[in-house]
């Protein structure tokens, strides 16, 4: 039962009872109403009954209202409990979501820091690699320069040695030519002399032996000159 409707009905009933009592009072004082055939006792009894009925109805209404109020209080308490539970559940969900969001944010921060550290490490490694490659390239360039300088120096030395060798060989060739000419001249001279001398059948150290006009023996050496053989 709705408490608001209940009190409206009770107010209407009280107004009716009040109006009925005023009507009875006026009827006792007004002459026309005295002609009514109902006895006063019956009217009083009716009034008492009506009042008793009204009291009982009011009592029932009060009990019903109290009962409805109790139900309303219980319903309110239940609603409060449900609201508290709902609030607690909602709070737990919010806390869980907050914790999850905080955890995800922490992971994102760690991931960002890791990416930053990885990028820094990669940059340092790249820088070191570039530095090493630059040092290697510089060393290789230095070696190449030194090798080129050494090759140039060796080429210069080789050219100088070749020049000196050619010069020496040319001098040797010239000297050999001069010696050959001299040998030829001496051989020719010795041959002419040997032709005028007598060739013996003897051999001395593999050379032919000639006998001079005075009986001396000689041979023609490698220089084309006469070499006399000592007499025994």
Return the pLDDT at 210: 93
Return the pLDDT at 28: 53
* Number of Cβ within a 10 Å radius of residue 190: 22
Return the pLDDT at 191: 56
Domain segments of the chain: what residues?
147-232
DSSP structure string for the chain: --HHHHHHHHHHHHHHHHHHHHHHHHHHHSHHHHT-SS-HHHHHHHHHHHHHHHHHHHHHHHHHHHHHHHHHHHHHHHHHHHHHHHHHHHHHHHHHHHHHHHHHHHHHHHHHHHHHHHHHHHHHHHHHHHHHHHHHHHHHHHHHHHHHHHHHHHHHHHHHHHHHHHHHHHHHHHHHHHHHHHHHHHHHHHHHHHHHSEEEEEEETTEEEEE-TTS-EEEE-TTS-EEEPPP-
Return the pLDDT at 117: 93
Dihedrals φ, ψ of 215, to 5°?
90, 5
pTM higher than the cut 0.75: no
Q: Residue with structure tokens 């040997």?
A: 194
Return the pLDDT at 180: 63
Please state, in angstroms and rounded to a whole number, the distance separating the CA atoms of residues 178 and 172. 10
Please state, in angstroms and rounded to a whole number, the distance separating the CA atoms of residues 191 and 186. 8
Return the pLDDT at 198: 82
List, run by run, the mean pLDDT of 10-residue segments along the chain (232 residues).
Answer: 70 70 52 53 71 79 80 85 87 91 91 91 91 90 88 86 80 70 58 68 90 89 88 76
Question: Computed from CA positions of residues 98, 103, 109, 112, in that sequence, does the dihedral angle turn out positive or negative?
Answer: negative
Return the pLDDT at 123: 92
Return the pLDDT at 14: 74
Which residues, 6 or more positions from 222, have their beta carbon under 8 angstroms from its beta carbon? 183
Return the pLDDT at 20: 58
- Distance (Å) of CA 84 to CA 20, 77, 92, 118: 51, 10, 12, 49
């Amino acid at each position: 039962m709705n408490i608001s409707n209940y009190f409206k009905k009770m107010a209407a009933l009280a107004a009716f009872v009040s109006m009925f009592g005023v009507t009875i009072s006026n009827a006792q004082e007004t002459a026309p109403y005295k002609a009514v055939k109902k006895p006063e006792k019956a009217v009083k009894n009716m009034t008492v009954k009506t009042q008793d009925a009204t009291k009982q109805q009011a009592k029932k209404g009060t009990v019903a209202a109290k009962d409805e109020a109790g139900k309303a209080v219980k319903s309110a308490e239940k609603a409060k409990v449900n609201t508290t539970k709902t609030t607690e559940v909602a709070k737990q969900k919010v806390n869980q979501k907050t914790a999850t969001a905080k955890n995800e944010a922490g992971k994102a921060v760690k991931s960002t820091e890791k990416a930053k550290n990885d990028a820094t490490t990669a940059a340092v490694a790249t820088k070191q690699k570039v530095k090493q490659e630059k040092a290697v390239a510089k060393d290789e360039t230095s070696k190449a320069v030194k090798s080129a300088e050494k090759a140039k120096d060796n080429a210069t030395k080789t050219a100088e040695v070749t020049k000196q060798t050619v010069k020496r060989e040319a001098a040797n060739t010239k000297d050999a030519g001069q010696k050959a000419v001299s040998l030829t001249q001496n051989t020719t001279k010795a041959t002419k002399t040997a032709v005028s001398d007598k060739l013996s059948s003897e051999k001395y150290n593999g050379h032919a032996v000639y006998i001079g006009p005075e009986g001396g023996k000689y041979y023609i050496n490698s220089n084309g000159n006469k070499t006399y053989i000592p007499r025994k």
